Structure 1
């Protein structure tokens, strides 16, 4: 006998006080199967804790403290639990991410499965990895994870964060993290805090933890010979003071010639300076733009109701790293006309944005508003004017004169698809 994920999910629902009908619905099983699951759970509850699940009308009850429940899970995971295919795929992933010299033979022994079952589990894993542009495959009879290096590092950091603080898991996290250099992690945390101080920023605790782990993962991958050698906004990044700060603090771990690697890390550190998370920031930008466009409509007697300009400006002001790509990569030039002055004045007096817009950003926003206003003037037909022209030709319809008057007023805005307009 053994226990699987479904049985433990049933126990969690019973412990939470769910009714039998709720359990049947959530687990998607029939009453007969539920009885089999209860019998199996009771066998192990009695064996480990001398406890049993009891039925009271439509409620199943188990008299357990949280401490007893945790003890039960730990004992089951250690001795009696059988991993399902998805869980084995996760075990394979964690093994290849964190265990040195991992191979299929070792996995067979650890998972107690045949080679054919293991290969099916690898297929399940690769379906999950495809979303990351990654794949576990063999090269020269050695299995490893291939694909986008940046996404591989992200995945490894995410998995590290996911498991490091777990008190219980069907997977043995101590096995995966047996080779982690805790001393290096502590050093990297101090480096993150030093960079925060040099940047004159305030990093959130979860960002500090993330960067500590991401630095660890990046250094490890670089030492294994996996180097990132391209970056879209590289030329900007290497010319910032931020780049020099990151390079200086990581000089013991990263060669100064690994400029693309340092540029990547610089961008991540800059992102930590955002006071809000991206969603909160996006909401504030949207509020700012809504107010600006309403004020502009009144000021310049124009309509932005189609939403096109709004979408453009939201997209402009909300890149993944807010300050980074606006201030330094887009160079706007132009005359400080009335639209520029209006946007500048409005922006200084509003309080949604976390910091003031730069002159460069104001130029860009003013330019987009100006272009939109011009386009509106070119394509909007005044109902008042067109009715006036028609009324003048209504008493005695002179078709040629009506066409002539309309063309005189609207010119190229009217498609000339009549044969007798002249």
Structure 2
């Protein structure tokens, strides 16, 4: 048999207790009774070979060691030959990946005393077991930049080790990682902080371990500048006593660990403290939260059924109710009354008597599950959510008027507007700057953005806010369909039809003919027979860069990409710096597809000529959100409309010509130029 850390744990536990039971061992070491019996049989098999009278004796269900001094010596000998189990090895590798982002294969083989092949098999196994991750070139990649998801994965992985770590027992490679991060004195500081922020004995709560794990993970992530960027319940959390206590006591950790907790980090800690079952990363809590989610969906279905309207596909309603439920439960359990809503209560009952009655009836099952009763003022908030959903769905949920939020000033927004107009039956697409988003607009069914909007801004918008890629991927299309966007059945290029007909017949009035065709096919006119300034008009050969050396940071790639435009007096230095600031503030929305970024910004008197530079990186850089990029089209535009055609060309270059795939085979600027020339011929 393999001597694992589990074997050693059981031996040490029995030696400490003197007398115990299989059930006691299982409960304290978090093992099944079957595994405990298996390990004890194996232990007795091993010590029998030592030809001593040393055994773990099982007498009427009670376990104790015979010849304890000899057994203690055997334990020490076994520690010397202890082998790391595959499970512990994978956990160790995964924790290293999560904390460090990348691993060194050679160093790992030395630390684990295994071959490179074994480590590679472990990496492949991890990729299969851990949903939503990808391991590329020994680096951990996530499809989205969600720091909180990474911390949840760390909590899940560390869960089975935290008891031994807190109690100072057990010894394996995973626990060693934690011991190296935090001294005993630092552990006590964290415990003191947890005691200071709560009036209750947190240690008696089953959430304590999860809370403790989250704090040690958070401290380590802040040390490496991996931060929580937003919290969906920020406004609610700031009003709680828990948040005020955390804000006051956090200085204890900041001073001793020499780090700074941002507003969002403090809000997330408050999120733990304000409820005991609304956190999806704790197993027992998760079960209840799943049930709440199911109940909410059932309530939506039943309310819709009684009102004879389908509300099940309204994702905005589900999200709104799920975000509402946590603050509602907190208010009820802390006797916080929404007095400001009292003036509207009777009015709402008079205007929507049936809806109010239906909601009140359907909420009874949920009240029973969580053992609370929703007061009338809280019921009114449920009514508001449902009333908004009824308004959204009165025309079968179809979205006709869209507000498109422009982040960078031009370019990617025009791509998106063009694709939306071609793909969906829309009456109007209104483009505004993100600086204008706080203004009110009538007759808008949805807001679409290519970057995350500030949570405070989103809370003031009564229609769905949908984040998509400028290239409108299949995933984006599915999201839009869920929100009620109606796809066009057919699209036609009117200008191409006019052009082809004109070659075979004489058209006296082309413009009039185009408009008549538009009316017949019920589509917008696409194309323009006038010559357009396309990608190749703006992309000069001297502005193409092939970069062999490895750049350390994505900011370096942006700076390198704009060097030709800065040198050619197209832009000032402040222009590309504003792009870096935009990405830091709004995320990597300029990464428009896998490996491809289109850095650009609004002209703030720092753009003197419209142009494009191309940077190809032999070694990709990682943009925020773990987005790998090795191809950058860097844009400068005096006027927002200058690059409408260029952007469409970039889309087609990738979609129709597999540009990035061809670029992977290049080794020089000249080869890149050849590929672009081939595309020009291909396009014709």
TM-score (norm 1): 0.53
Q: State whether structure 2 residue 137 is matched by structure 1 residue 133.
A: no
Instruction: Report the Cα distance in structure 1 between the residues aligned to 2:260 and 2:172, rounded to whole angstroms.
Output: 39
Q: Contact (CA 8 Å) 1:126, 1:135: kept in 2 or not? A: yes
Equivalent in the alignment of 1:150: 148
1:266 deviation in Å? 2.6
Distance 2:227 2:211 in 1: 18
- The aligned residue for residue 270 of structure 1 is 274
Alpha-carbon distance between aligned partners in 1 of 2:213 and 2:135, rounded to the nearest angstrom: 23
Report whether the alignment pairs 1:177 with 2:178: yes
Aligned to 2:348: 335
Question: In the TM superposition, what is the alpha-carbon distance from 1:152 to its structure 2 partner?
Answer: 2.6
After superposition, give the CA deviation of every residue in 1:347-403 in whole Å (9 maximum; x if it has no partner). 9999625242414434247748988xx99xxxxxxxxxxxxxxxxxxxxxxxxxxxx
Q: 1:203 to 1:218 in 2, by over 3 A?
A: same
Decide whether aligned partners of structure 1 residues 367 and 52 sit closer, same or farther in structure 2, where only a CA change above 3 A counts: same
Q: 1:107 to 1:242 in 2, by over 3 A?
A: same
The equivalences for 1:113-128 within 5 A come to 113-128=114-129
Summarize the Cα distance change of 1:235–1:126 in structure 2 as closer, same or farther, 3 Å threshold: same
Query: For 1:165-314, what aligned pairs fall within 5 Å after superposition?
Result: 165-166=163-164, 171-179=172-180, 180-197=182-199, 205-234=205-234, 237-238=237-238, 242-253=242-253, 258-272=262-276, 277=285, 279-280=287-288
Q: Structure 1 residue 105: deviation in Å?
A: 4.1
User: Quick one: distance in 2 between partners of 1:102 and 1:290?
Assistant: 45
Aligned to 2:653: none
Give the secondary-structure state (helix, strand or coil) at the position aligned to 1:196.
coil
Q: 1:322 and 2:325 equivalent?
A: yes
Q: Deviations over 1:2-46 (max 9, x none)?
A: 6367xx8xxxxxx99xxxxxxxxx99xxxxxxxxxx999845532
* CA shift digits 1:214-263 (9 cap, x unpaired): 11211221022222223445455456665444322213435777222223
* Correspondence for 1:361 among 381, 395, 398: 381
Does residue 45 (structure 1) correspond to residue 31 (structure 2)? The answer is no
Q: Describe the superposition over 1:152-178 as per-residue Cα deviations: whole angstroms up to 9, x where unpaired.
A: 322333333311324997944553333
Per the alignment, residue 23 of structure 1 pairs with: none
Specify the alignment match of 2:157 in structure 1. 159
d(CA) in 1 for partners of 2:93, 2:46: 30
What is the distance in 2 between the residues matched to 1:344 and 1:306? 14
Residues 243 and 266 in structure 1, CA contact (< 8 A), matched pair in contact too: yes
- For residues 3 and 228 of structure 1, the distance between their equivalents in structure 2, rounded to whole angstroms, comes to 41
1:63 Cα shift?
A: 11
The structure with more strand, counted as a fraction of residues: 2
Name the structure 2 match of 1:3: 2
Q: Which sections of structure 2, spanning at least 5 residues, go unmatched?
A: 8-20, 23-33, 36-40, 332-340, 396-684
Kindly indicate whether the alpha-carbon contact (under 8 Å) linking 1:77 and 1:170 is maintained by their aligned counterparts in 2: no
Q: Distance in 2 between matches of 1:150 and 1:107?
A: 26
From the CA coordinates, give the structure whose radius of gyration is larger. Answer: 1
CA distance in 2, matches of 1:177, 1:49: 37
Cα distance, 1:90–1:49 mapped onto 2, change above 3 Å: farther
User: In 1, Cα distance between the equivalents of 2:121 and 2:290?
Assistant: 43
Q: What is the CA–CA distance in structure 1 between the aligned matches of 2:217 and 2:157, rounded to whole Å? A: 11
Q: Against the structure 1 CA distance between its residues 112 and 283, is the aligned structure 2 distance closer, same or farther, given a 3 Å change threshold?
A: closer
Change (3 A) 1:146 1:41: farther
Q: CA deviation at 1:135?
A: 3.9
In 2 relative to 1, CA 347–113 (structure 1 residues): closer, same or farther, beyond 3 Å? closer
Q: Is the 8 A contact 1:150 1:228 kept in 2?
A: yes
Name the structure where helix makes up a greater proportion of residues: 1
Q: Aligned residues, how many? A: 327
Cα distance in structure 2, aligned partners of 1:95 and 1:246: 29
User: What is the rounded CA distance, in whole Å, between the counterparts of 1:152 and 1:270 in structure 2?
Assistant: 22
**How far has the Cα of 1:207 moved from its partner?**
1.4
* Separation (CA, whole Å) in 2 of partners of 1:233 and 1:314: 16
**SS at 1:162 equivalent:** coil
Check whether the contact 2:197–2:246 (CA below 8 A) recurs between aligned residues: yes
- For 2:308 and 2:64, how far apart are their aligned partners in 1? 59
Structure 2 counterpart SS, 1:47: coil
Equivalent-residue separation in structure 1 for 2:61 and 2:54 (angstroms): 8
